[in-house]
Amino acid sequence: MEKRTELYRGKAKSVYTTDDPDRLILLFRNDTSAFDGKKIEQLDRKGMVNNRFNAFIMQKLEAAGIPTQFDSLVSDTECLVKKLDMIPVECVVRNYAAGSLVKRLGIEEGQALAPPTFELFLKDDAKGDPFINVSHVVTFGWATAAQIERMQALTLKVNDVLKQLFDDAGLMLVDFKLEFGVFKGEIVLGDEFSPDGCRLWDKTTGKKMDKDRFRQGLGGVIEAYEEVAQRLGVPLA
């Protein structure tokens, strides 16, 4: 597979075209950002860890019957993926209260949420990824009602699979966000799943093992990512 031109450069990944019009290469960089890009740092090994972590999770989800964008690892920091027509909506599941939910509703961090909540956000950095609902999505043409229904069903299935996976590794899957796109008419899970896009707490100590360590200046960010990967059995280079 021939890597060609840079198609898109995000906050932590770059997307490249290939000689196959249906395939792209994702490059996971060491860049780490928070607060809509206001805090940015380079963290050694981050690109490698997230690339391999994402590959491991996507393969677990594929095995559970969830269609994903992931095809194969290309290098320590790159993977081959299907080219999706991305839907600009983030799907968020919360198993425990944290982050913006605590701020919006004034509830205690760590409160168990049963059943888990499902939320939608518009993927738009300039607007701060605003909270939206299904009516907004359909009215403004970001997705159809049927697509959102499918995205919600897949997101909740992902939650069922990953809650158990992380629980077995001694971790609480607090919340996470997913993005989806369309590939040959099918809704497919896209982007990535890594500690950058979820919250993970140690079940015993409550230690934060995710990007909140960077947001809150706790240090040991990559060390925490690597510990999570090792607990799961992710093969790191």
User: Residue type for 83, please?
Assistant: K
Per-residue model confidence (pLDDT) at position 35: 80
Going edge to edge, which strands form the sheet with 3-9? Answer: 3-9, 13-18, 23-28, 78-82, 70-73
Give pLDDT, residue 181.
98
| Structural domains for the chain | 3-82 (3.30.200.20), 87-186+194-219 (3.30.470.20)
The count of other CB atoms within 10 Å of the CB of residue 6 is 12
Q: List, in order, residues 6 or more apart from 55 with CB less than 8 Å away.
A: 70, 73, 79
Give the separation between CA 172 and CA 169, rounded to whole angstroms. Answer: 9
Can you give the pLDDT at residue 151? 98
pLDDT in tens, 56-109: 999 999 999 999 999 999 999 999 999 999 999 999 999 999 999 999 999 999
pLDDT along the chain (237 residues), means of 10: 94 97 98 82 97 98 98 98 98 97 96 98 94 98 98 98 98 98 98 97 98 96 98 93
